[in-house]
Structure 1
Amino acid sequence: MGAMNELIDQAAVGRLVRVLADAAPGACWSNLGDAGSSLGNLSLRERTDHVSRGLLADFAAAASPADYSTAARVFRSALLDPGFTGWTLWPVTETAVTLALNSTRSADFEDCLQLLAELTPRLTGEFAIRRMLAADLDRALAVVLTWTAHPDQHVRRLASEGTRPYLPWAVRIPGLVQRPDATIPILDALYRDPHEYVRRSVANHLNDLARHSPEAVLAAAAGWTAAPDANTPWVVRHGLRTLVKKAHPGALALQGFAPASLSVSPPRLDRHTVALPADLAFEFEISNTGVDPARLAVDYIVHYMKANGSQTEKVFKLAALTLNPGETRTVSKRHAFRQMTTRVHHPGSHALELQINGVRYAHTQFLVEI
């Protein structure tokens, strides 16, 4: 995250000061400038909050308490400058939301949502919008739903991405988890969007919902499958990826992965001791012993050793293939074992297992040495 932190550095804040000074001649941005020179070792999120506090202090110095309408006017004026862009827009959006939520004028809530839509083509408003959703979910979603018909793809993506239940880096909104049906109309309106940027967000949103509401996800995916365009199969497949890995029968069936008569060999490993860093290569055979063609979702599972001596498993996608009756296919793969911040390996007994159309097959042990 070190390099990420520097996305908001003193130089970036200095550029923001200059843009705002041009947008609001005569205004003083001393607190914002001070914030830019005192970032220290703060994380990107902490820098966002620190710079936003500087902005709020400058607006409060101009009119106490700080006024949302004044800030919105300045930010809209700044949008006339192409230099009003980059990661310093994150504290700008957070500042706008703070002032709107503190405002006594009801209309400022909707206006702030509109401002986020105007700002999001310069830098996504997906993080700042979370506090608007938390403050009044139904009121915010009513506005967000209208964005699905917006001419700008960035605004349409904001409708889907900003309302994801498990948006990375973002605060959780309990209502989005407790009411999985709340955002389905947004996804219904966007799954055939002409831009892949938007469709990918829709698929990721659907996959988020699968964590806690698989039935709502399957109902939505079934509706999309019944009214598809050329890109719908990918959107559905990507949106159901976690359910397929978890061998959910409904998700497998919707993707055409029916129970099949198979013969599956145990995986043959190229080594039985893996000394990190290394790749473990393996291969196996699948035979269709049935009388009908078999469409197969082929996955594999690594059973990792944990620090406490127990094992935890992770499912990895391998292939989707179709075997005719009597056909045998050899499948091979190399799996990397590297120490990473997202996965810390521990020495000891591991295992590799195959999963085909949700059914688990041969289980082969191996050792990992650090």
Structure 2
Amino acid sequence: MADHLKTFFDARLVERLGASLHAAAPTFPRAAFIREAEKGLDGHELMDRARHIAGALHRALPQDYPEAVEVLLRSLGPRTEATEGGAMASFFYLPHTIFVAEHGLEHFEPSMRAQHVLTQRFTAEFSIRPYLERHTAKTLARLREWTEDPSEHVRRLVSEGTRTRLPWASRLREFQKDPTPVLALLERLKDDPALYVRRSVANNLNDIGKDHPALLVQVATAWMKNATPEREWLVRHALRSSIKRGEPAALAVVGARPPSGIEARVTQLPRRAALGSTVEVHFEVTNRSKQQQTLVVDLAVHFQKANGEARPKVFKVRELLLGPGQAETVSKRVSFAQLSTRKHYAGPHRFEALVNGQGLPLGVVEVSG
């Protein structure tokens, strides 16, 4: 994905950007901007390409920031209708948000207006973060207002922009220490009508739980009271990392207590596999106790690392409700394809069922190069 985005920021994009700005402001020095933005562009990686273009924007736009922002906003295309799974076209506006993040901190109102508009075309989740750090109280107050905005893109900005561990972004250290201000915003969004927003709320809570697991359980427990199916899904999604780690308090929120008399028996697992292949594992989970049990079933694969050590990665499988003596077979596919985000190595890979956090061995697959 990153490679595709990287090549998305090419000379053609620069020319499109120059044309849109020239149409918005005929005095915009399009030719000079294109020359500077294209120079050395191919030598940069993804985010640095966007920053390189944003730097050229800064030097080509009016030096008066409010005036420059007005030119940017006049150059924008229509608001996006899609919320998830859209094409990469919206990344066209990444240099715009970088410009606002890097040059607008002394101009709060024009920058807030710009981010309100830009997030309805791309996302301002990255550009809002410097404002949360520099103008904490004012930005939190504005985000509180935006929790009631008609646009779900704007409402999602509230929850996504305040994530303490947002991917591709620097961490919000002060909110990592004390997430109370963030939780106050999430409280207003927990029953948002848009799944797009609720998923972001869940992801934000999941981030909080990595630093404050007890607080996450406290919030999740409160939110599960009289919860709608939509809110219950949100809470379960927020607890996913805690559940994968087998934290008893998180499992208890979804009704999964420490298992008793639970067995896992593998029914299909190859002894050997090759790098680049896909392995399918099937295993039967049986309740040997005399009580019905709610079971959260995951799969842990202990992947080999370059140093010869093995480190587990947990894959979500499904939840089961098993009565006394009842059994059910579940399955999962595991890929050993080389990815930009995960490199695989030859060697023994141990497979383990995790049932309410309890590890039950399934077998070992010897992966060859």
Query: Which amino acid is the alignment partner of residue 332 of structure 1?
Result: S
Query: Where in structure 2 are the equivalents of 1:176-187 lying within 5 Å?
Result: 176-187=175-186
Match of 1:88 among 68, 86, 92: 92
What is the Cα deviation at residue 227 of structure 1? 4.5
Question: What residue number does 1:194 align with?
Answer: 193
Q: Counterpart of 2:42 in structure 1: which amino acid? A: G
Partner-residue secondary structure (3-state), 1:317:
strand
2:301 aligns with: 302
Q: Quote the residue 2:245 is aligned against.
A: 246
CA distance in 1, matches of 2:284, 2:6: 47
Quote the offset at 1:363 in angstroms.
5.1
Question: Which residue number corresponds to residue 209 of structure 2?
Answer: 210
- Asked if the contact 2:79/2:121 (under 8 Å) is kept, the reply is no
Deviates more, 1:167-176 or 1:48-57: 167-176
The 1:355–1:44 alpha-carbon spacing in structure 2 relative to 1, beyond 3 Å, is: same
Give the AA of the match of 2:66.
Answer: S
Counterpart mapping for 1:249-288 below 5 A: 249-288=248-287
Corresponding residue number in structure 2 for 1:55: 57
Q: Which residue pairs with 1:11 in the alignment?
A: 12
1:145 maps to 144
Aligned positions of 1:17-166 closer than 5 A: 17-38=18-39, 39-59=41-61, 62=62, 66-79=63-76, 82=78, 86-101=90-105, 103=106, 108-166=107-165
| Residues 1:226 and 1:32: Cα distance change in structure 2 (over 3 Å) | farther
Query: How far off its partner does 1:369 sit?
Result: 1.0
Give the C-alpha shift of residue 26 in structure 1. 2.7
CA contact (8 A) 1:13 1:88 kept: no
Corresponding residue for 2:348? 349
Identity %, equivalent residues: 35
SS of equivalent residue, structure 1 residue 318: strand
Q: Distance in 2 between matches of 1:23 and 1:93?
A: 18
**Residue 110 of structure 1: how far off its partner (Å):** 3.5
Q: For residues 47 and 333 of structure 1, what CA distance do their matches in structure 2 show?
A: 38
Larger mean Cα displacement after TM superposition, 277-286 or 302-311: 277-286
> Contact conserved, 1:14 with 1:36, CA < 8 A, in 2?
no
Give the counterpart letter for 2:146 in structure 1. Answer: W
Map of 2:171 onto structure 1: 172
Cα displacement (A) at 1:83: 9.6
How many angstroms does 1:255 deviate by?
0.6
Which residue type is aligned with residue 76 of structure 1? L
Unaligned ranges ≥5, structure 1 = none
Amino acid at match of 1:280: V
Q: In 2, Cα distance between the equivalents of 1:336 and 1:82?
A: 40
SS where residue 292 of structure 1 aligns? Answer: coil
C-alpha distance in structure 1 between counterparts of 2:306 and 2:289, whole Å: 43
Judging changes above 3 Å, is the alpha-carbon distance between structure 1 residues 262 and 43 closer, same or farther for their aligned structure 2 residues?
A: same
Instruction: Kindly indicate whether the alpha-carbon contact (under 8 Å) linking 2:128 and 2:161 is maintained by their aligned counterparts in 1.
Output: yes
Secondary structure at the aligned position of 1:313 is classed as strand
Contact 1:9 1:36 in 2 (8 A): no
Residue 290 of structure 1 deviates from its aligned partner by: 2.6
Tell which deviates more after alignment, 306-315 or 7-16.
7-16
Q: Deviations over 1:111-153 (max 9, x none)?
A: 3123201121111111222222232333322211211110111
Letter of the 1:25 partner, please give it. P
C-alpha distance in 2, partners of 1:110/1:258? 50
Is the CA contact (8 Å cut-off) linking 1:287 and 1:326 kept in structure 2? yes
* Letter paired with 1:297: V
SS where residue 174 of structure 2 aligns? helix
Contact 1:48 1:88 in 2 (8 A): no
The Cα of 1:75 is off from its aligned counterpart by 2.6
| Aligned-pair CA distance for 1:278 | 2.7
SS of equivalent residue, structure 1 residue 167: coil
1:332 match: secondary structure? strand
Q: CA deviation at 1:47?
A: 1.6
| Counterpart residue identity of residue 12, structure 1 | L
Aligned-pair Cα RMSD in Å: 2.2
Equivalents in 2 of 1:260, 1:226: separation in Å? 24
Cα distance in 2 between the residues matched to 1:281 and 1:89: 41
Which residue identity is paired with 1:172? R
Letter in 2 for 1:336: S
SS class of match (2:43):
coil
What TM-score, normalized by structure 1, do the two folds share?
0.89
SS in 2 for 1:282: strand
Q: Name the CA shift for 1:30/1:216 in 2 (closer, same or farther; >3 Å).
A: farther
- Give per-residue Cα distances to partners, 1:146-186, cap 9 Å, x unaligned: 11110111100111111111212222222232222221112
Matched residue SS, 1:88 = helix
